[in-house]
Amino acid sequence: MDFTETLSYDASPDEVFAMLCDKDFREEVCKQSHAISYQVEVVPAGDSAKVVISRVMPANVPDFAKALVGPEIEIVQTELWEPPNPSGVRIADLRMEIPGKPGQMVGSVTLRPDSAGTTEIINGELKVKIPFLGGKLEAEIAKGLREGIRLEGKVGAGWLSR
């Protein structure tokens, strides 16, 4: 299943990148999303960075999926950020995995300057490799991802306005 979500920020791509690579910001997003537990690691490397967020979330899934996922879902999100290109665009390779479960999303995060500040585009391919139920689970996971990304955007807008 193809997945895309877009956010807008009233800040430059460099400011948004700095926020996304701020451990305190990522921990605040985890708290606001009601993560049961979380761990954030940010490894800067010059004008690039590696961000790894591991969080355990309550499994808010339909009844048909509860037996498969259990009461909690661990999600490990890894972003490998590249330096900006000459146009000021920043791109990260994105991987979201559910350890021990047959689900993942592989894609990218793009920070692109625009007239109002920055557009952040999260896209990828979401896959759940379970016969007969994979498509239904992908739709449920996509719904949860959208909610999480929109919450991050809301927290980010407040963060950047400080």
Closest-CA residue to 24 (of 34, 11, 9, 38) = 38
Assess contact for 6 and 108: CB atoms under 8 A. Answer: no
Q: Are residues 76 and 53 in contact, defined by beta-carbon separation less than 8 angstroms?
A: yes
- pLDDT at residue number 66: 67
Residue 138 Cα distances to 23, 104, 158, angstroms: 29, 9, 30
Stretch among 12-26, 76-90, 98-112 having the lowest mean pLDDT:
98-112
Backbone angles phi, psi at 141, to 5 degrees: -65, -40
Average pLDDT over residues 148-161: 96
Order of all β-strands in the sheet with 48-58 = 2-9, 117-128, 103-114, 90-97, 72-81, 48-58, 37-45
pLDDT at 132: 67
Question: Structure pTM?
Answer: 0.92
pLDDT at 133: 67
Work out how many domains the chain is built from and give that number.
1
Q: Say how far residue 23 (Cα) sits from the centre of its chain.
A: 14
CATH number, domain with residue 69? 3.30.530.20
Domain that holds residue 62: 2-160
- pLDDT tens figures, 28-63: 999 999 999 999 999 999 999 999 999 999 877 767
The fraction of the chain above a pLDDT of 70, given in percent, is: 93
